[in-house]
Amino acid sequence: MPIDLHDSTPLYLQIVNDIKSKIAGNKLKADDQLGSHAELASSYGVSVITVKKALATMIYEGIVFSRVGKGTYVAKPAPETHRREQRTIGLVLRDIRSPFFSRTMHAVEDAAYELGYHVLISNSSGKVEKEEAQIARFRKFGVTGMIIATMTHKYHATPTIRRLLHEGFPFVMVSYIADETIPLVGCDHALGGFMATDYLLKLGYQKVGYINGEEGNMVGELRLQGYQRALKAHGRRIDKRILFRLSKRGEWHDYQSGYEIGKRFGKLTVKPDAMFVYNDLSALGFEHALLEQGVRVPGDVAIVGFDDIERGEYAAVPLTTVRQPTDLIGRQAMELLVNQMKKKNGSIRRILKPELVIRESCGGARSATSFRSPRANVSRGGSIR
């Protein structure tokens, strides 16, 4: 059984994917009975609870059905008039633990379910070679299309992605890639960087710094472009002394990298009074380090992040952030993929506008009288599109 304890894909999803692949390969057919919960748990080497979660997921998707007191069975295919819609797509995620990609995954699943498609999910666990192997594995399983969040931070497609394009295999990227020939649904990162920085400057902050992603992270560079454009629009010069970069590669390190920058804050010769941070995890680590040192947020330093992950709303000082429209990204990626699979013509790239969500960390949600210089007052929880 293909259960990999070293794979960070949840075990129940590995079971779901295995059963779906057996159905797609006719190893399991309509009305075939699956083993009991205990038998499946034993064969997969997991707990009964994990098996129940996997089966509940497939029952919800209409892949299997349960007969009270008798067991679980493979569901019959849809009627002939709808059978062409009952297909399977592969979802290749960079890291299923990522708040951004997790929300995008759920949006894809919901849209696929509504359209009558099954979804196989894989997790590259931050390894490019595993990502490539999973793409090959999905093709072997016979998926009719893929939605991919690649590990690469480069502008151009990897050879594996290029091969899919060359062979005409339907796929859509939901992680940034600049190549205009590659199908993509994503957020306007440069616009998001501009919105965050522009808002801080309009609030009256004088020295707005930026914490960029790790070296070579092109998404971070796009957000930097937006930051620089906002400074220019306000007649400000770029001060390299308040530009920082995360030290480690990979989203799972971002909180710690942001924290490390925050710990060095007290030793800075030039201290910014506001910071735009590459993503929310880094911003939360940065905020944590400042608060530990008695630095007030936003009284001494205002902070704006990017992504709008759930943790940001419940931070010690709730985080102002740029929200990526994950629900829309997931749904439009599925729509674009279906268009490819049905050979429909149309745009292959959709860049969506982000949204600025105002909370306490930038001061915009507090009374203007509490600031050292006059600044605009924005109601708590407001948003600027």
Q: Which domains does the chain have, with CATH numbers?
A: 1-76 (1.10.10.10), 189-324+355-384 (3.40.50.2300)
Q: What is the pLDDT of residues 270-293, one digit of tens each?
A: 999 999 999 999 999 999 999 999
Q: Which comes out higher in pLDDT, residue 8 or 163?
A: 163
Q: How far apart are CA 177 and CA 220, in angstroms?
A: 12
Residue 367, pLDDT above cutoff 70: no
| pLDDT on residue 152 | 54
Instruction: Report the candidate in 149, 208, 188 with the shortest Cα–Cα distance to residue 306.
Output: 188
Burial zone of 236 (CB within 10 Å; 0-12 exposed, 13-18 middle, 19+ buried):
middle
Q: What residue has token string 């429209």? A: 325
Instruction: Report the candidate in 5, 68, 14, 10 with the shortest Cα–Cα distance to residue 40.
Output: 14
Q: Which two tokens stand for residue 126?
A: 């931050």
| pLDDT on residue 11 | 85
What is the maximum span of the chain, computed from C-alpha positions, in angstroms? 73
Helix axes 254-263, 280-292, angle to 10 degrees: 40
Q: How far apart are CA 334 and CA 115, in angstroms?
A: 9
Q: What is the pLDDT of residues 25-49, one digit of tens each?
A: 788 888 899 988 889 999 998 888 8
Helix axes 159-166, 128-141, angle to 10 degrees: 30
Q: How far apart are CA 116 and CA 127, in angstroms?
A: 31
Predicted confidence band of residue 9 (pLDDT cuts 50, 70, 90) = confident
Predicted confidence band of residue 380 (pLDDT cuts 50, 70, 90) = very low
HSE, side-chain direction, 13 A CA sphere, residue 36: 4
DSSP state of 33: B
| pLDDT on residue 139 | 86
Instruction: Work out the percent of the chain whose per-residue pLDDT is above 70.
Output: 84
Q: Which two tokens stand for residue 132?
A: 């490539």
Q: What is the chain's mean pLDDT, rounded?
A: 84
DSSP state of 156: S
Other beta carbons within 10 angstroms of residue 279's beta carbon come to 29
Instruction: Report the candidate in 245, 240, 329, 255 with the shortest Cα–Cα distance to residue 97.
Output: 255
| pTM for this predicted structure | 0.73
